[in-house]
Structure 1
Amino acid sequence: MDKANIKRLRTQSLLKELVASALNNFDDELINSQIVLDAECKKGRYDAFIYLDKQDYNKDEQQNILSKLQRVSKVIEAQCLNALQMYRCPKLHFKFDDTYERVSRLETLFKQINKG
């Protein structure tokens, strides 16, 4: 593993903790109830994707939450910048993680294959 990869992984780990902490500080219940599952920085660490737990939200609720998070993303980025002590914080992009749904669909398919 090269030095740049190690820095990126360290930044991802720190962002996951810092964003979760920052979300808990908001007064809005929809924002502070979000669970950060993962953070993924793109090469160069200019963009970071923050993956959130869906928690049985429907599509409209997810869009509402994502729009609220986009409005407060600059505040979260500023808090992360102070904690990371970097010259620039990655631009945060929030997404709901659908990995669990994909895994459960695959498990269902495998069960169907094993039966028939």
Structure 2
Amino acid sequence: MKSINLQRTESLLMELLPEALSTLNDSRINSLAITGVNCKNGKYDATVYYDGSDYDNQEIKAINQILHKANGRIKSYILASTGWYKCPNFKFVNDDSLEESKNIEALFAKIAKEKKDQE
């Protein structure tokens, strides 16, 4: 169970990260959809999940490298927006849970069709 302060921090980061990304000049990341934020060790580390379902593996690697390089600018934006003393170190990860849920839905549809065909 996460503390209310940690949940508040994650919620605020969910709001501010897309704004921070939109200020960057790279079209691959300035409209990237943030799907979740998971803070660890208080506010020292945060895993940021983004929707990379429109990209192939090579593009996702490139996006991760760009986000890693832009980490300092993103942190500066967050610090300026919040007035925090310290900003978490961001680790950006492709959120493949959306892709997995699509696969599960497809499996359910296939099972339903097979049952219907058997009847």
Bucket of the pairwise TM-score, normalised by the shorter protein: 0.7 to 0.9
In 2, are the aligned partners of 1:36 and 1:50 still within 8 Å (CA)? yes
Give the structure 1 partner of residue 87 of structure 2: 89
How far is the alpha carbon of 1:13 from its aligned partner? 0.9
**Displacement of 1:113:** 4.0
CA-CA distance at 1:87 after TM superposition: 1.9
1: CA distance, partners of 2:100 / 2:53: 15
Q: More helix per residue: 1 or 2?
A: 1
Question: How far apart, CA to CA, are the structure 2 residues paired with 1:109 and 1:31?
Answer: 32
Provide the C-alpha distance between the structure 2 equivalents of 1:54 and 1:102, rounded to a whole number of angstroms.
12
* Deviation at residue 55 of structure 1 after TM alignment: 4.1
Counterpart in 1 of 2:70? 72
Identity across matched positions, percent: 36
The residue number in structure 1 matching 2:11 is 13
Matches within 5 A, 1:1-116: 5-114=3-112, 115=114
Question: Which 4+ residue blocks in structure 1 deviate beyond 4 angstroms?
Answer: none
CA RMSD, 1 decimal? 1.8
Shift of 1:8: 0.6
Alignment partners' CA distance in 2, 1:31 and 1:110: 33
- Which SS does the other structure have where 2:86 is aligned? coil
| TM-score after normalising by structure 2 | 0.84
The one-letter amino acid of 1:65's match is I
Paired residues in the alignment total 114
- Mind listing any 5+ residue stretches in structure 1 that lack a counterpart? none
Shift of 1:84: 2.3
Gaps of 5+ in 2: none
Q: Deviations over 1:53-78 (max 9, x none)?
A: 11410000010011011001011012
2: CA distance, partners of 1:31 / 1:101: 19
Normalising by structure 1, what TM-score? 0.86
